[in-house]
C-alpha cells in the first residue's frame, strides 16, 4: 500500500445532486449545492450511493465544480444522469490508511518513519541512545550513541573516550 496521504473531511457536507450527466470517463461535474463541502484539498465522494451504479471518486472542489478521479475504492466508472445524488464519504481506502499507521506501532517507544515510499516502524533504541540523522539508513535516521567532537560519548551518565 502506498504511503497514506492527508485528505480533507467535513462532518457538515450536505447530500446534493449533480447538475449535469456524467459519461463513464468524464472528469468533472457541477453540484447543485456545496453546503458544508470541503473547499480545499482532496476528498472522496460517492455518486448514486446505495444503487447498483454507485461509484466512488477522489475529488477536489473549485466553486461548485468537482474534478474527479473516477472508479476508486473498488468501484467502476459508469455513466450517471443529471440529478444523481452525490455525497462526501469516508471510504475503505481511508480506513486502510488509518489501519496501516496503527498496525506499525506495535511496541512502546516505536517511531513512524518513511523511506519516501513506504511507512516503516523504527523500534525503540537502546537506553541513552538518541535519534540521529544517517543518510545510509533506510529511513534517513537511526538510534546511536551521542557523538562528541573529541571522540568521547555519553552512555548511561558516564563519559567514554
- DSSP string of 115-132? SSSSEEEE----TT-EEE
pLDDT of residue 35: 96
Q: Residue 157 above 70 pLDDT?
A: no
Enter the C-alpha cell of residue 155: 552512555
Same domain, 129 and 74: no
> What are the tens digits of pLDDT across the range 116-133?
888 889 888 888 888 888
Same domain, 26 and 82: yes
Q: Is residue 51 part of a domain?
A: yes
Q: Is residue 101 part of a domain?
A: no
pLDDT of residue 155: 54
Domain assignment of residue 156, given as a range: 107-160
Q: Is residue 10 part of a domain?
A: no
Same domain, 21 and 90: yes
CA-to-CA separations, 59 to 37, 81, 109, in angstroms, rounded: 11, 18, 37
Same domain, 23 and 88: yes
pTM of the predicted protein model: 0.71
* Tally of domains within the chain: 2
Amino acid at each position: 500500500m502506498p504511503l497514506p496521504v492527508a485528505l480533507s473531511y467535513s462532518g457538515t457536507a450536505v447530500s446534493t445532486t449533480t447538475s449535469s450527466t456524467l459519461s463513464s470517463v468524464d472528469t468533472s461535474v457541477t453540484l447543485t449545492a456545496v453546503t458544508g463541502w470541503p473547499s480545499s484539498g482532496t476528498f472522496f465522494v460517492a455518486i448514486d450511493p446505495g444503487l447498483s451504479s454507485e461509484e466512488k471518486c477522489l475529488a477536489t472542489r473549485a466553486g461548485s465544480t468537482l474534478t474527479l478521479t473516477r472508479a476508486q475504492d473498488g468501484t467502476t466508472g459508469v455513466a450517471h444522469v443529471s440529478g444523481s445524488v452525490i455525497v462526501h464519504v469516508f471510504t475503505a481506502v481511508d480506513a486502510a490508511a488509518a489501519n496501516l499507521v496503527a498496525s506499525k506501532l506495535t511496541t512502546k517507544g516505536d517511531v513512524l518513519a518513511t523511506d519516501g515510499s513506504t511507512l516503516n516502524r523504527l523500534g525503540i533504541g537502546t537506553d541513552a541512545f538518541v535519534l540521529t540523522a544517517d543518510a545510509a539508513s533506510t529511513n534517513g535516521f537511526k538510534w546511536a550513541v551521542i557523538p562528541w567532537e573529541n571522540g568521547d560519548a555519553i552512555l548511561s551518565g558516564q563519559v567514554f573516550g
